[in-house]
Amino acid sequence: MIYLDNAATTRMYEGAVDVYKKYACQSFYNMSAGYNKAIEVAKDIDETRNLILKKLGVRGYIIFTSGATESNNLAIYGSKRNGKWEYVFSEGEHPSVYNVATDLQNQGFVVHFVRLKENGQIDYEQLQNVINERTRLISVMHVSNETGAINDLKRVDLIRQKFSPKALLHVDGVQAFCKLDYKIGDYNIDLYTISSHKFHGPKGVGALYVKNLNALKNITFGGGQEKGYRSGTENTSGIMAMGYAISHFNTKDNYNYVEQLKNLLKEQLSVDKKIKIFDVGSPYILSVTFPGVNGETLMRALQDYDILVGNGSACSTRKAGNRVLESMGYNLNEIKSHVRISFSEELSLKEIDFAGKKIVEVYNNILEKVK
Ligand code: PLP
């Protein structure tokens, strides 16, 4: 199987599975209990908090959650305040942010949506125009899960500091964490979301980085775990396995290797001049349109050759159109013929070589049939 849908999820590292099992079957204690065995687990969990903070290059707090969807909901609803506050989101956000934004709008809050430019990044001029002293929160993703476009967070922070210094900055870092080499301390980010299954950890576990706990309120109620911000017994196996994945993910080496994979695939695909390649950001994601062919048809045809590609994020595959590509100015035909190819360091150059040639061949076969 040549798996080219690593932005949807990744294969779990075998070592992470071993760690998961250890904390499920041996060190399985509830970390809130008072006996030594449980206290040891709590210490291990705290080490994972520190590991994430170190990787992010910041001081602050880590709240463990069930994944990025929950982290994003907690970041936005948790920082919401009543009164004349306004909220700013980009049109390129994942549904776990975007649908929260539309819910806030339905509740009667003033919500601004910032367009995307052709290169997939947010329109910084529009951001500048919509923020003001009433802005409570700006939420902008780090790397687009649809296109791989990387937003300039330094620029976002500078705009925020100039026009709305009190506004909180939340960043969905799901497609960036571990994969790109950066320190969020450089961007004065208040809230940052990560998800374990995007970097070879288990599914159903993630975290929210919080710079200042006073900015946040809990949105669920219960036993008061995670300093009261996320009640419920911690998923200790998942958290420890995520920690394993973080410490075994070689950010620099993987980046360089994945870039090589992406360049090879680009070379293969550009043999066919009809194919349009959109490569502007993260080497982990390549957005491609295959004029005249439906992306879903191509995706289904490729699976017969054991090649798996994505046609839009998993959450939006069943919906007509694509809000993110639409915001960038794609027309409906381009959106329909769009395929997302996303890489992992576990792929070989030989596999990419095979996949590239096969994609061109299968695309042209389908074109012939639909003529
Ligand atoms: N944000 C982005 C940018 C994503 O790509 C995803 C994954 O699809 C999510 C949020 C949701 O992550 P999770 O599956 O951990 O809830």
- Mean pLDDT for the stretch of residues 310-328: 68
β-bridge partners, 135: 86
Residue whose tokens read 């990387």: 150
> Does residue 57 surpass a pLDDT of 50?
yes
Q: What is the pLDDT of residue 31?
A: 97
Into which CATH architecture does domain 14-248 fall?
Answer: 3-Layer(aba) Sandwich (3.40)
Quote the ligand 1 centre to 314 CA distance (angstroms).
9
- Give residue 236's Cα distance to chain centre: 22
Q: What is the pLDDT of residue 36?
A: 98
Distance CA 61, CA 207 (A): 10
pLDDT in tens, 329-345: 999 999 999 999 999 99
What atom in ligand 1 is closest to the CA of residue 195?
A: 15
Please give the structure tokens belonging to residue 68.
């990025």
Q: What is the pLDDT of residue 224?
A: 97
Nearest CA to ligand 1 atom 12: 68
- The residue among 343, 159, 183, 361 whose CA lies nearest residue 264 is 343
What atom in ligand 1 is closest to the CA of residue 69?
A: 16
- The residue among 81, 361, 365 whose CA lies nearest residue 217 is 81
Q: Is residue 51 within a helix (H) or strand (E), and if so which, with residue range?
A: helix 36-56
Residues whose CB falls within 8 Å of the CB of residue 60, separated by 6 or more in sequence, listed in order? 53, 209, 210, 211, 212
Is the CB of residue 172 below 6 angstroms from any atom belonging to ligand 1? yes
pLDDT in tens, 119-135: 999 999 999 999 999 99
- Mean pLDDT for the stretch of residues 268-274: 97
Specify whether the CB–CB gap between 79 and 100 falls below 8 A: no
Q: How would you list the strands of the sheet with 276-278, edge to edge?
A: 276-278, 285-289, 338-342
pLDDT band at 313 (very low <50, low <70, confident <90, very high): very low
HSE, CB side, 13 Å, CA atoms: give it for residue 342: 28
Is the CB of residue 147 below 6 angstroms from any atom belonging to ligand 1? no
Distance CA 117, CA 122 (A): 6
Region of poorest pLDDT, from 89-98, 279-288, 312-321: 312-321
pLDDT band at 320 (very low <50, low <70, confident <90, very high): very low
Nearest-5° angle of CA 103, CA 71, CA 341? Answer: 90
Distance CA 36, CA 103 (A): 44
- Mean pLDDT for the stretch of residues 352-360: 98
One fold for 2-9+250-370 and 14-248: no
Please give the structure tokens belonging to residue 126.
């529009």
For 96-215, where are the E strands, in sequence order? 110-114, 135-141, 168-172, 191-195, 206-210
pLDDT band at 54 (very low <50, low <70, confident <90, very high): very high
- Mean pLDDT for the stretch of residues 181-199: 97
> Does residue 142 surpass a pLDDT of 50?
yes
Distance CA 94, CA 170 (A): 13
Q: What is the pLDDT of residue 322?
A: 87
Q: Average pLDDT over the chain, rounded to whole?
A: 96
Q: Is residue 340 within a helix (H) or strand (E), and if so which, with residue range?
A: strand 338-342
For the chain, the structural domain boundaries read 2-9+250-370, 14-248
What atom in ligand 1 is closest to the CA of residue 313?
A: 8
Quote the ligand 1 centre to 15 CA distance (angstroms).
23
Question: What residue type is assigned to position 110 of the chain?
Answer: V
> Does residue 189 surpass a pLDDT of 80?
yes
Specify whether the CB–CB gap between 333 and 291 falls below 8 A: yes
Please choose from 89, 93, 96, 235 the residue to mutate so as to test ligand 1's pocket, defined by most ligand atoms within 8 A of CB. Answer: 96
- The residue among 185, 133, 174, 186 whose CA lies nearest residue 150 is 174
> Does residue 240 surpass a pLDDT of 70?
yes
Q: Catalytic residue numbers?
A: 315
Quote the ligand 1 centre to 139 CA distance (angstroms).
14
pLDDT band at 315 (very low <50, low <70, confident <90, very high): very low
Q: What is the pLDDT of residue 82?
A: 87
pLDDT band at 13 (very low <50, low <70, confident <90, very high): very high
Distance CA 99, CA 97 (A): 6
Into which CATH architecture does domain 2-9+250-370 fall?
Answer: Alpha-Beta Complex (3.90)
Quote the ligand 1 centre to 70 CA distance (angstroms).
9
- Mean pLDDT for the stretch of residues 46-62: 98
Q: What percent of the chain has pLDDT over 90?
A: 95
Residues whose CB falls within 8 Å of the CB of residue 219, separated by 6 or more in sequence, listed in order? 73, 74, 77, 78
Q: What is the pLDDT of residue 319?
A: 52
Distance CA 75, CA 213 (A): 11
Please give the structure tokens belonging to residue 183.
């320190």
Quote the ligand 1 centre to 197 CA distance (angstroms).
9
Is the CB of residue 67 below 6 angstroms from any atom belonging to ligand 1? yes
> Does residue 317 surpass a pLDDT of 50?
no
